[in-house]
């Protein structure tokens, strides 16, 4: 009961007050969650949308959730299976998980890890070495992976409540207001063309 009530509160808070760039929702069962993290500005993951799987154990919050990336990411602390090397995802003495932490805290920590990798505690030794000794090549590869795997056109909205399927919105390279203005202008041009064509047909049509 404690686990269910706590998860309900956490998901409700994540729906109404999500951390910037983070969305989390229920994937059918209460212990099976999904999340999305938007790549941070000034990182090689900028404009990327990264999906994650969150499995909540029976002993939560005394045991941390199991979180992994579903979207491939080029990162020294995240392996090809999406597993994440992060101390708050592990129990003491090797880890730093404690019951006072929550899912929002974990997702924020993962977001921070994306912006600030820890090459001294890697899961991917080759990427770690590249990050330490050839930073420009790392940035190039990370950007290419982001464009290839995380450049999705759809993202979950944050306004999702328990039992309600989250909606989907389209992303664009342009700001929303710019897209609206361009669409409006295009419609105006089409309307003017239609009106012009209509009058031409009236003027030049043979009289009966």
List 24, 85, 160, 188, catalytic entry: 85
Q: Closest Cα partner for 25 from 16, 37, 35?
A: 35
Tokens found for residue 108: 């924020």
Largest CA distance in the chain: 95
85 as an active site residue: the answer is: yes
Q: Which residues contact 170 (CB under 8 A, 6 or more apart)?
A: 153, 154
Distance of CA 28 to CAs 14, 33, 73, 107, 166, Å? 17, 8, 25, 20, 12
**Which residues are known catalytic residues?**
85
């Amino acid at each position: 009961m404690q686990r269910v009530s706590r998860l309900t509160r956490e998901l409700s808070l994540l729906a109404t007050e999500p951390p910037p760039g983070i969305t989390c929702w229920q994937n059918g069962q209460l212990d099976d969650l999904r999340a999305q993290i938007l790549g941070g500005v000034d990182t090689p993951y900028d404009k990327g949308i990264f999906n994650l799987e969150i499995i909540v154990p029976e002993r939560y919050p005394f045991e941390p959730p199991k979180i992994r990336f579903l979207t491939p990411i080029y990162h020294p602390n995240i392996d090809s299976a999406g597993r994440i090397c992060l101390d708050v995802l592990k129990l003491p003495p090797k880890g730093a998980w404690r019951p006072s932490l929550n899912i929002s805290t974990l997702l924020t920590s993962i977001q921070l890890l994306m912006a600030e990798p820890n090459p001294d505690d890697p899961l991917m030794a080759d990427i770690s070495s590249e990050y330490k000794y050839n930073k420009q090549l790392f940035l190039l590869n990370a950007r290419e992976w982001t464009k290839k795997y995380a450049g999705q056109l759809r993202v979950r909205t944050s306004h999702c409540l328990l039992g309600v399927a989250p909606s989907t919105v389209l992303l664009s390279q342009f700001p929303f207001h710019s897209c609206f203005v361009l669409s409006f202008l295009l419609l105006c041009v089409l309307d003017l063309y239609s009106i012009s064509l209509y009058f031409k047909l009236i003027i030049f049509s043979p009289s009966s």
